Chain A
Amino acid sequence: MINLEFIINTLSLGSLYAMLALGLVIVYGILRLVNFAYGELIMIGGYTLYLLTGFTPLPWLFVAFLAVIVSMLTSLATELVAFRPVREKSLTAMLITSFAVSTLLQNAALLIISPRARAVTLPQIFQKSVLIAGTDVPWRNILTILTSIFMLALLTLLLKRTVLGIALRAAADNFRMTRMLGVPANTVISSAFAISGIMAGIVSIFWIGRSASVTPTLGAPPLLVAFVATVIGGMRSLTGAVVGGFVYAIIISLLGIFLPPDLLEFREAFMFVFVIIILLFRPEGLIRSKTSVERVG
């Protein structure tokens, strides 16, 4: 059961979930905002793929690049229009806003495109597979792993070596202090949303790569995955998000093998019971951040 195919599939799923979780955590780290609209960024990436592959002759790689850009711009726009005005008010206001933005984007897709699923044309390579050590490994999975390694390296470089990256990390540790030292809050927050949008855009390519179709409600499943992965890994740490993504993929794959079929349907419920247990007994997740969230009780 646990053979090379299983390992590569799980690794590929894990790297996808790691990117997914990173996009959510980068905003959470700074604003303490659990962005319910994050899933919709993936949906919008998917629709960009659908529209550009279906109605323009642009090459696929360029279309994929544009999908990432559109996701990023949408993320920036939601920050500017919806989150910035309520940022100073309260966490609850921001959470309800993100829920409203999510509903807004989802229904806008319904209104503008269609409630029905749309097929997305995928490039040849997404259907092909390669023979490694006697097992057929889909190229899609290899590409997911390679992309996530590349993105993680890029993000690490950005966070460790650039001024913006240092400002982002400082803001995640202590936002008030960072602002007092002259780092403009808007720049930091916008950058976080931009990175979050880029991650969502990249995830959308591979997520659509699995289903080959897009619907207005596409964003819900990845959002739930991102929630679970970030809680497992630790809401405050980027390393935690990556670890959480992989742990989630491993747990879900193992449950797929060992859980009896009757209970398999309830897999998601088990994952969320796990989330509640973690929040109760180890709210900092697997990877503890240097600063911990203030909690009462």
Chain B
Amino acid sequence: MNLADRLKSFSTPLTLATGVLLVAVLTELLGISLLVRIVTVMFVSMILVLGLQLFMGNSGILSFAHIGFMGIGAYTSVLFSMTPTAKELSNANLYPFLIPIHLPFLPSVLMGALLATFVAAVISYPLMRLSDAAAVITTFALLVIIHVVLVHWDRVTNGPRTLFGVDYYTTLWTSVVFCVITIFAVYLFKESRVGLRLRATRDDAYAAASIGINMVMMRWIAFIASAFIAGVGGALWAHFITSFSPYSFYLTETFVVLAMLVIGGPYSVSGAVVGALIVTAAREILRAIENYVNILQVFPQGFFGFTEVILAIVLILILVFRPSGILGSREISWPRFVRKQKATGDLDQPSAGVQGGSHV
């Protein structure tokens, strides 16, 4: 394979990474601090959406648990990165043995991601047999369990109270670098042997089983990998926001990440990237309107929830009129949109036969 061909097969992640870098450079050049904050959060969300895409897009199974793994990543990384004094100030109940631990930023992120991965690996294997409603309820149950533990285990998480005193490490460029790495990782996973086999089980579980694909194992690998990414995302988010509580990792955040993925297109890596971009932009505009109306005091009881109402309506409209998202199963690639094999996964009309075997 010569260089041109090699580049061609990486066309999609290269294009997406270029887009991400362009947005970052533009933000840096404009230098507005609010915009820098928004874009940094967007890249962190993008990492989370990409992590969810890795599992949901390839396996066709809806997962609610990922924000839980984000929470595990956030709390674990923070316990490693905070200085002993900050820990004592922030959480008086902390287990004494946790206080002296102090690591630099990157190893802390890694520890957060590894614990999320470990938890996912240990508990999820038997769950990977389940499909449809049973799968959804179990991942939802996982989210509830992780949430209850985060809220009540105050010797580690400071309970329902806000944990503060986290050092600020996640700059715009930190989030960009992690985001670009994630784009490549998720794309490579999709095109890897495991990714291909997993997509085969998504399109037809019986046919895939008949050619010897171990569906449970493939799903498990994807679930673990996506928990790792969610853990990284959580760790980055924690070191950006610097004070947070367990309520940041529950249904509201789940809804936003899910909306990003579904609106962008759950079956492609590009869909995850585009979804995060569009939904962030839309949310910030709506949030600005919401704040403006609140400042004007048009409504005596305040004007809250407007952003979420509009976002929910858009999500429903997308599901009704374009159930496979803006991009469907296409990947963006230079110089043009290349139509990939049509995904016959869950969100789309399940189609019977195999359409278009070409793999451009």
Q: Which residues of A contact B (CB under 8 A)?
A: 28, 32-34, 81-82, 85-86, 89-93, 95-97, 99-101, 103-104, 106-111, 113-115, 216, 220, 224, 227, 231, 235, 265-266, 268-269, 272-273, 275-276, 279-280, 283, 293, 295-297
Chain A nearest CB from B255 CB (Å) reads 5
Whether the pair B138, A275 counts as a contact (CB closer than 8 A) is: yes
Q: Does B302 belong to the interface (CB within 8 Å)?
A: yes
A-B residue pairs in contact (CB < 8 Å), sample of 16: A34-B137, A90-B349, A93-B347, A100-B259, A100-B316, A107-B304, A109-B305, A110-B304, A111-B304, A272-B148, A275-B137, A280-B138, A283-B130, A295-B130, A296-B131, A296-B206
- Residues in A neighbouring B338, C-beta threshold 8 A: none
- Is A113 a contact of B301 with CB atoms below 8 Å? yes
Closest to A85 in B: B320
Beta-carbon nearest neighbor of B314 in chain A: A100
The reply to whether A269 and B144 contact each other, CB–CB distance below 8 Å, is: yes
User: Would you call B145 and A273 a contact (CB within 8 A)?
Assistant: yes
Contact B133 A28 (CB under 8 A): yes
Min CB distance A40 to B, Å, is 11
Instruction: Give every chain B residue within 8 A of A272 (Cβ-Cβ).
Output: 141-142, 144-145, 148
Nearest CB on B from A209, distance (A): 25
Determine whether B350 belongs to the interface, using a CB cutoff of 8 Å to chain A: yes
Highest count of chain B CB atoms <10 Å: which of A89, A103, A273: A103
Within 8 Å by CB of A111, from B131, B134, B305, lies B305
Given contacts A82-B316, A92-B347, A297-B215, contact A103 B134 (CB under 8 A): no
Determine the chain B residues whose CB is within 8 A of the CB of A297 once the complex forms.
128-131, 205, 215-216
Nearest CB on B from A80, distance (A): 12
Known: A104-B309, A283-B134, A296-B205. 7 other contacts (CB 8 A): A81-B316, A89-B349, A103-B255, A110-B308, A266-B148, A272-B145, A295-B129
Bound: A100/B136 CA distance, A? 15
Check A276/B320 contact, CB under 8 A, given A114-B301, A297-B216. no
Q: Label chain A's interface by main secondary structure.
A: helix
CA A103 to CA B305, docked complex, whole Å: 9
Q: Which residues of B contact A (CB under 8 A)?
A: 60-62, 126-134, 136-138, 140-142, 144-145, 148-149, 152, 205-206, 209, 215-216, 251, 255, 258-259, 262, 301-306, 308-309, 311-313, 315-316, 319-320, 323, 346-350
* Residue contact A280 to B347, C-beta cutoff 8 Å: no
Q: Which of B133, B144, B205, B304 contacts A91 (CB 8 A)?
A: B133
**Contact of A279 with B148 at beta-carbon distance under 8 Å, contacts A93-B346, A107-B312, A111-B303 already known:** no
A97 touches B319 (CB 8 A): yes
CB distance from A174 to the nearest CB of B (A): 17
Contacts of B301 in A (CB 8 A): 113-114
- B62 contacts A92, CB within 8 Å? yes
Contact A90 B316, beta carbon cutoff 8 Å: no
A34 touches B136 (CB 8 A): yes
In the complex with contacts A90-B350, A111-B309, A269-B148 CB distance below 8 A: yes
Q: Which of A99, A106, A115 gathers the greatest number of chain B CB atoms within 10 Å?
A: A99
The answer to whether A96 and B262 touch (CB under 8 A), given A103-B255, A103-B308, A107-B308, is: yes
Which residue of A has the minimal Cβ distance to B349?
A89
Contact, CB under 8 Å: B305 / A108: yes
Residues of A within 8 A of B141 (CB): 227, 272-273, 275-276
Is there an interface contact between B144 and A268, defined as CB atoms closer than 8 Å? yes
| B134 proximity list for chain A (CB < 8 A) | 279, 283, 293, 295
Q: Is the beta-carbon distance between A276 and B255 smaller than 8 angstroms? A: no
The 6 nearest A-B residue pairs measured at CB? A110-B305, A107-B305, A297-B129, A104-B312, A107-B308, A269-B148
| Complex CA distance for A297 and B313, rounded to whole angstroms | 35
Closest to B151 in A: A265
Q: Which of A91, A106, A111 contacts B132 (CB 8 A)?
A: A91
User: Given A85-B320, A268-B144, is A90 in contact with B347 using a C-beta cutoff of 8 Å?
Assistant: yes
Docked complex Cα distance between A92 and B129 (Å): 17
Q: CB within 8 A of A108: which of B60, B128, B309, B346?
A: B309
| Residue in A90, A96, A224, A275 whose beta carbon sits within 8 Å of that of B258 in the complex | A96
Bound-complex Cα distance A97 to B319 (A): 7
Partner of B126, one of A115, A280, A295: A280
Known interface pairs A220-B251, A276-B127; A95-B138 also in contact (CB < 8 Å) = no
Asked if A231 meets B346 with Cβ closer than 8 Å, knowing A104-B309, A115-B304, the reply is no
Closest CB in chain B relative to A17 CB, distance in Å:
17
Contact in complex: B205, A101 (CB < 8 Å): no
Contact, CB under 8 Å: B131 / A269: no
Which residues of A lie under 8 Å from residue B251 when comparing CB positions?
103, 220
In the bound complex, how far is the Cα of B308 from the Cα of A110, in angstroms?
10
A residues within 8 A CB of B320?
A: 82, 85-86
Task: Say yes or no: A96-B126 contact (C-beta < 8 A), given A90-B323, A103-B255, A297-B216.
Answer: no
Q: Which residue of chain B is the closest to A224 with respect to CB atoms?
A: B144
Please give, as numbers and ranges, the residues of chain A lying within 8 Å of B315 by CB-CB distance.
96-97, 100
From B152, B313, B348, contact of A104 by CB (8 A): B313
Given B148, B152, B311, B312, which contacts A101 in the complex, CB threshold below 8 Å? B312
The answer to whether B149 and A269 have CB atoms under 8 Å apart is: yes
In the bound complex, what is the Cα–Cα distance between A283 and B142 (angstroms)?
A: 17
The answer on a CB contact under 8 Å between A227 and B312 is no
Chain B residues whose C-beta falls within 8 Å of the C-beta of A91 in the assembled complex:
132-133, 346
The minimal Cβ–Cβ distance linking A213 to chain B, given in whole angstroms, is 16
